[in-house]
Amino acid sequence: MNLTSRKIGKYIAGITLSLTVAFSGSTLIAPKQVEAATASASSTASKVISVGKRYLGTPYVFGASAGQTRSFDCSSFTQYVYKQVGISLPRSSKSQSKSGRFVSKSQLQPGDLIFSDTNRDGSINHVSIYMGNNKILHTYRKGIGVTISTFKGSTWDKTYVTARRVM
C-alpha cells in the first residue's frame, strides 16, 4: 500500500469516526440542564477530535516546540489541539495530568486525556486523547507521528496511570 493510499484510508477512517462520535449519544431522557451540559461537552469533544485528526501523519519530534504544527510530541499535540477549542493546558504530559478532574478508566468519554508511564519508571511520560470506541488519538515515535490507535490491550493501556477530564 503506497503512502497516498494510506493517507486516504486514514482520512476516510477519520471521517467515519467523527461521524460516529458526532451522532452517538444517550437515548435516556435527562433534565434539560444536564442535557445541555452533556451536549456542550460532547460538542467540545467532537471539536477536539476533529481538530486533532487534521494533523494525522504529522511527524513526531521529542521536545517539539509548542504552538506550531510542523511536528509534535505527545504533550505539544494535546496542548495545541485543546487550545484550538479554548482550553489551556500546561506543556508537559506530567503537568497536564494534574489539569481538570480525575476520571476512572471505566468512565472514559471522548475528549478525556489518558496518561501513561511507558518507560515504567514511575513517571508519566505519555498523553493521548480518548476518542471513544476504544480508540485514542496521539503521537509517538519518529516515523509514526500523529495517529489513531486501539487503547485496550495496548502499551498505553498496560502502562495507564490516570485520566483527566478537562472539558
Hey, which residues are catalytic here?
A: 74, 126, 138
Q: What is the SS3 assignment for the chain?
A: CCHHHHHHHHHHHHHHHHHHHHHCCCCCCCCHHHHHHHHHHHHHHHHHHHHHHCCCCCCECCCCCCCCCCCECHHHHHHHHHHCCCCCCCCCHHHHCCCCEECCHHHCCCCCEEEECCCCCCCCCEEEEEEECCEEEEEECCCCEEEEEECCCCHHHHCEEEEEECC
